[in-house]
Structure 1
């Protein structure tokens, strides 16, 4: 989920914790748990600072080790170790318990996004992405904001957020059912589909659709369970040519390939260089595919410049590559 949603979830979890007698019966425990659930709801996303290095490092590592099984265990211990000396009268066990719940909930809800997490590390480096909740879901965010306002106006926080989370469980089930129904509709029009990747949008009835068969990629959108296919591409395996082999050694392209499950590629020979471009097919927007990796090589196959990330126009991409070259 996005940072804002994790913030309101941390606050809501602090309110829910007041149902715990050990929390409600101790001022020190109440305050420390409120701080800890907010910190725990943010801690796994500390790897966002990797953006300051470059997109390749960020793409490879975001929602990786910081969302892993060891991290879910270690984050609460670290937060409690820092916080407890300031609240020595707090109930240590219940402070740790609610901090653990906050960290676990952060990682758990991220699994439902299309981006996913490597939540099974160190047992598996596979990305777990169930893909039926958008990274920012306005319904989830709005319900939390409403709950916080109700709390601010005097409603009991524990029962307020207990009701809210029961509603959210129902909402998640409805989103899962909607995803299953869209996949069924896709298979009706593309019966030989091997892989169907649905990316939820901020609108309940809209989904981005990317489909793989043995021979083709299909890209489209679902609206109210009606499937519209916009693009069809011949599926061509990456050949072991000198240009592509050289390009694959680039860190930006390598990060792209580690993250993207469905893409097409193209090589363009220019006057004094080669351009290798890989295009993720999951995020088509207004006729454009914004998530790309591009590598420029000279005629001797030395890498001149490269980029991976989100670019929403060809002009901006070329400017970015020119900056990197210079």
Structure 2
């Protein structure tokens, strides 16, 4: 999910802890503003991998949602947060509760990331497989408004946290379960409609009844939208002749941008365009095809002497444009 949503979930998780943890309810002096701040930090902690941007966009793509979201990291992130909180608040006996709830915040962060289409390597070190359930958009407006309203009522003193936050998280669990069920249903029907296509991806749009899809057949890539159960706006891109053995394709694989891209992409396809200045080798992840656009990939430009002129990797879309991953 996006940063604002993770921060907001940290606030409402603090409210849930206040509602259901007797130790927290019994010591309001120990669990005040600093308590909320600690869970906000914990809720965002796995995304501190943003420091990888210092080394460039390719390093960030390679490292984002990787080690920082892995199983060992679940247990490591809460440790300094709990210790700093206990030291700053002066309640050393609160450290264990702070650690447990910070751990819950970190795990919730990873779960929310796994629910969207970009995915997360949350099962490292056992596997580097990207886990993506494709059920939620990067920013889910319905969950955001729901949690924002609950947080505002609680912080303003207008609502008792005891009934409010258990109800909030019950509603959240129901909504997420409903989205996962709908995604699986749409995916199953898409495969049936495309005649058993092996590789199909269905990802959500902002509208709750609209989904985008990308699929791969032996001869072509297929994309489109599913609106209220109907497949619409289908676009096919023939695969054409294989380019894997092209010398510039091989040369592009030695660049940092393409190495980072291939470490992440699950349905990579390469295109070559030439003009008077040279050749561009464009790698795209077909999983993120949205209509006629291929917004995520890596480009390597070569001059006429086949020397690398430039390389870049990332998204080529506005924040409000799909796909919403």
Would you call these one fold, judging by a TM-score over 0.5? yes
Q: Report the equivalent of 1:109.
A: 112
Q: Report the equivalent of 1:80.
A: 82
Task: Kindly state the Cα deviation for residue 238 of structure 1 after the two structures are TM-superposed.
Answer: 4.1
Three-state SS of the structure 2 residue aligned to 1:172 is helix
Q: Report the equivalent of 2:177.
A: 173
2:26 counterpart of 1:25 = yes
Which whole-Å deviations, capped at 9, do the CAs of 1:275-318 have from their partners, x for residues lacking one?
Answer: 111223334446332223111112332211111112249xxxxx
Q: Report the equivalent of 2:296.
A: 291
Distance 1:262 1:286 in 2: 16
Three-state SS of the structure 2 residue aligned to 1:155 is coil
Gapped regions of structure 1 (runs ≥ 5): 314-326
Q: Report the equivalent of 2:286.
A: 281
Cα 1:148–1:312 change in 2 (3 A) is closer
Q: Report the equivalent of 1:258.
A: 263
Asked whether the 8 Å contact 1:268–1:274 carries over to 2, the reply is: yes
2:232 counterpart of 1:231 = no
Q: Report the equivalent of 2:201.
A: 197
Asked whether the 8 Å contact 2:135–2:203 carries over to 1, the reply is: yes
2:143 counterpart of 1:140 = yes
Which whole-Å deviations, capped at 9, do the CAs of 1:204-259 have from their partners, x for residues lacking one?
Answer: 11111000123321011111111125321223544222111101111112222222
Asked whether the 8 Å contact 2:215–2:287 carries over to 1, the reply is: no
Task: Kindly state the Cα deviation for residue 153 of structure 1 after the two structures are TM-superposed.
Answer: 4.2
1:158 to 158, 162, 170: 162
1:304 to 309, 314, 320: 309
So what's the TM-score if we normalise by structure 1? 0.90
So what's the TM-score if we normalise by structure 2? 0.90
Distance 1:119 1:279 in 2: 24
2:70 to 68, 71, 75: 68
Task: Kindly state the Cα deviation for residue 272 of structure 1 after the two structures are TM-superposed.
Answer: 4.2
Greater relative contact order (Cα < 8 A, sep 6+):
2
After TM superposition, the structure 1 stretch with the greater mean CA deviation from structure 2, 276-285 or 77-86, is: 276-285
Distance 2:203 2:230 in 1: 15
Asked whether the 8 Å contact 2:211–2:225 carries over to 1, the reply is: yes
Distance 1:65 1:268 in 2: 36
Distance 2:12 2:317 in 1: 35
**What is the alpha-carbon root mean square deviation over aligned residues?**
1.8
2:134 to 131, 134, 142: 131
Three-state SS of the structure 2 residue aligned to 1:30 is coil
After TM superposition, the structure 1 stretch with the greater mean CA deviation from structure 2, 123-132 or 255-264, is: 255-264
Gapped regions of structure 2 (runs ≥ 5): 319-325
Distance 2:202 2:163 in 1: 35
Distance 2:315 2:233 in 1: 23
Give the count of matched residue pairs.
313
Q: Report the equivalent of 1:100.
A: 103
Task: Kindly state the Cα deviation for residue 202 of structure 1 after the two structures are TM-superposed.
Answer: 1.7
After TM superposition, the structure 1 stretch with the greater mean CA deviation from structure 2, 69-78 or 173-182, is: 173-182
